[in-house]
Amino acid sequence: MSSPSNREQLIETGVETLMCRGFSNASVRDIASAAGVPLGSFTNHFRSKEDYAVEVLDRYFASLQHVMAQTLESPNMAPLQRLDAYLDVITDLMSVSGWRYGCLIGNLGLEVSGYSELIRTRLQGIFADWLRPFLAVVVDAQRSGELRDDLSPEEVAEFLLAGWHGAILRMKVERSDEPLKRFRRIIEVTLFQSGRRQDKEPV
């Protein structure tokens, strides 16, 4: 049996490997090589590449949950400040690669969910968990009068999460942050109560 450190190294480097190469284009040999471990370590620790991808997704989402805890779930900010903070952090993370790679969860959702039931099911669970802090922000913002309250909070939260991922997809294609800015401009004029941003510069 390979050492636990090899397993950890495979998962840790897997985020970047699958982000850059995609699931289909990254062979098991590529994955082991990027991790700097023997090829046999992969088969010793993972039953299949799909099982491995699920573990990598969990690691990636754990890092996003940390971001959400500091932003969307922060007790020290008003509801829409929490949303702003989250979008700001994600935008900064996307900028590191020159808007090239996007979100691993969204990437695998587009690439793999059509033929891997294992990965599709795990992605479904991740999005359900991801939606909860968005819903909490929407509910709080509606209660405080920051967000229009004539729409279902569940549908607004779903729209925000799905719309943001659509903007990230366009960002990858255009290699530009303009789709992210556009998304934020549109939600401000359609969802936020008028006057909420009069004292701020446009996003």
Provide the whole-model pTM: 0.91
Tell me: the pLDDT tens digits for 128-146? 999 999 999 999 999 999 9
Tell me: the pLDDT tens digits for 97-131? 999 999 999 999 999 999 999 999 999 999 999 99
Q: How many CA atoms lie within 13 A of 164 on its CB side?
A: 20
Tell me: the pLDDT tens digits for 54-71? 999 999 999 999 999 999
Q: Mean pLDDT of all residues in the chain?
A: 93
Rounded Cα gap, residues 202 and 79, in angstroms: 19
Tell me: the pLDDT tens digits for 151-181? 999 999 999 999 999 999 999 999 999 999 9
Range 43-53 average pLDDT? 96
**3 pLDDT higher than 80:** no
